[in-house]
Amino acid sequence: MKRTGLNIVFIIAFFLNCCSPPPVQHSVPTPVNLFTAKAVHVLYYDKYPANTVALNQVDLRAEVQGYITGISFKEGSHVHRGQELYEIDQRLYKDAFEQAKANLDIAKGNLTQNQQDADRYTFLNKTDAVAKQILDHQIISLEQAKSSVKSAEEALKIAQTNLNYSVITAPFDGTIGISQVRLGNAVTVGQTILNTISSDNPMGVDFLISEKQLQFFDNLMNDKISSVDSLFTIILPNGNLYPYPGKLYLIDRAVDPQTGTIRVRVSFPNPDYSMKPGLSCILRVHSQDTVPQILIPNKAVVELMGEYFVYVAKDTVIHDPQDSVKTSPAMMAIQKKVQLGQIIPPNIIILKGISEGERIVTDGVQSLHSGSYISTGQKVTNPVMDKPIDNKKAKVN
C-alpha cells in the first residue's frame, strides 16, 4: 500500500509539472544601426543608353558614268561645302558641251536669217510685190528656227550639267570617310557608292524614353517648362564627361507599339570633331525636382515579392513578467512599404512611405521582422550562446 501511495504521488507531481506554464523567455533585441530620414535638395540624373548619330549623312554616287581620273581629298578629313572630291573622265563631256555650243550658234544664225527674210517679205507684201504664199512659208520657217534655237539651248544645258556632274563636290560641311573607289575605277550612274559624308558639328545623340515620359520631353521641346543649366550631358565610352552640354533637337513622330518607347534626339557641339557617329554613350538628364527629397541609404531597403519595405524604429515599453506595473523602455522595428525613386549611390530617394524625422534601420535588416525588438549602442547578451554581442559601433545618424 505504501508503494502504491508513493506511485500515486509521483504521478500527480508529473502531471502538475507538465501542465504548469513554461518560464517566460524574453527575446533578445537585435543590434542595429539607425538613420534619421531627412528631406534634402538632391542633385541626380536620369540615365539612358544612347548612341551618337550624324544630323545629316549622305552617300556620294556618280550621276554620270566613266572612269575616276581624280581624287582630291584626304580620307577621314573635314571637308567644306562645294569642295571638289572626285573627278570622272571629262573628255567626252567636254566634247559634247562644245558640240552643243556650236549647234546653238548655228541655230541662232538660222534664226537671224529667217527673221531677216520674214521682215523683207512682210514689207514687200504691203505693196503686193511678193506672193502671199511665199510670206506664209517664211513665217513658218521663222517659227521653226526659233524652236531650233530653244532645242539647241536645252541641249547645251544638258551638256553643261553632265560636264558639271563629272566633278563631284561636297554637298555640306562634314567629315568624309574612306573612299570606295580608286583612280581608274569605272563608275555607274546611280549605283556606285563613291564615299559617305556626314555632318560633324553639331552631333546628335539618340536615346529611347517610355511613353510615360513623353509629356515631360514634349513640354521641354515646346518651352512649356523652364529647364536647368546643363540639362543634357553625356558620359563617353571611356567614362569621361563630355565637356559640352546638349539641347533637345527632336522627338520622333510615333511611339513604337511593341516596346512602348519613342526616340528622342539631343544635339551637342562638336568643335574639335572628336565625337564620331555610332559611339555608345550614357545620356544624363538633370533632375528637374526643386523640392527636398527623402534620401536614405540604399541598403536599408528590403524587397519582398516585387515590393519594397524599410524598417522604422518605434519607441515602446516592455512589461516585467514578475511585476505587471514595472516597465522598461525599448525599441521595436515596424515594417513599412515604400515607393522608390532615383538611386544615387549609396543612397536612394523615397517617394512615399516614410516621413522626415523617422528613424530607419540600415544594418541588421536581414534578422528582423515587423515587431522585432532592436537595440543600439549597447552590449546585448545572447542567453543561448552565453556570449556578449558587441554593438558599440551601432549609432543613430
275-305 pLDDT tens trace: 999 999 999 998 766 678 898 999 999 998 8
d(CA 201, CA 204) in angstroms, rounded, equals 9
Residues 75-96 pLDDT 10s: 999 999 999 999 999 999 999 9
- What mean pLDDT do residues 201-207 have? 95
Query: Rounded mean pLDDT of the chain?
Result: 84
What the block records as the C-alpha cell of 21 is: 506554464
pLDDT at 46: 85
Amino acid identity for residue 305 in this structure: M
- What mean pLDDT do residues 33-58 have? 90
CATH architecture of 60-197: Beta Barrel (2.40)
pLDDT at 119: 87
> pTM for the whole thing?
0.65
pLDDT at 7: 56
Amino acid identity for residue 237 in this structure: P
Q: pLDDT tier at 155 (50, 70, 90 boundaries)? A: very high
pLDDT > 70: percent of the chain: 84
CATH superfamily ID and name for 46-56+199-286: Efflux pump adaptor protein, beta barrel domain (2.40.30.170)
Amino acid identity for residue 62 in this structure: A
- What mean pLDDT do residues 207-231 have? 85
- What mean pLDDT do residues 105-115 have? 91
Give, for 304, the enclosing helix (H) or strand (E): strand 302-304
For the cut 70, the answer to whether the pLDDT of residue 239 exceeds it is: yes
Sign, CA dihedral 174-180-182-185, equals negative
Please name which of 235, 232, 239, 242 lies closest in space to residue 267, comparing C-alpha atoms: 232
Which whole-number Å values give the CA distances from 275 to 205, 245, 267, 270, in the listed order?
A: 10, 13, 12, 6
pLDDT at 206: 96
- What mean pLDDT do residues 182-191 have? 92
d(CA 108, CA 122) in angstroms, rounded, equals 21
Q: pLDDT tier at 3 (50, 70, 90 boundaries)? A: low
Amino acid identity for residue 77 in this structure: S
Task: Please tell us whether the domain made up of 24-43+291-389 is placed in CATH 2.60.40.3880.
Answer: no
Sign, CA dihedral 127-133-137-143, equals positive
Most confident listed range (19-23, 213-217, 263-267, 331-335): 263-267
For the cut 60, the answer to whether the pLDDT of residue 392 exceeds it is: no
Q: Where are the domains of the chain?
A: 24-43+291-389, 46-56+199-286, 60-197
Q: pLDDT tier at 268 (50, 70, 90 boundaries)? A: very high
For the cut 90, the answer to whether the pLDDT of residue 128 exceeds it is: no
Tell me phi and psi for residue 348, to 5 degrees: -145, 145
- What mean pLDDT do residues 146-157 have? 93
d(CA 266, CA 206) in angstroms, rounded, equals 7
- What mean pLDDT do residues 245-259 have? 94
Alpha helices in the chain (DSSP H): 2-19, 91-125, 132-165, 214-221
d(CA 81, CA 208) in angstroms, rounded, equals 32
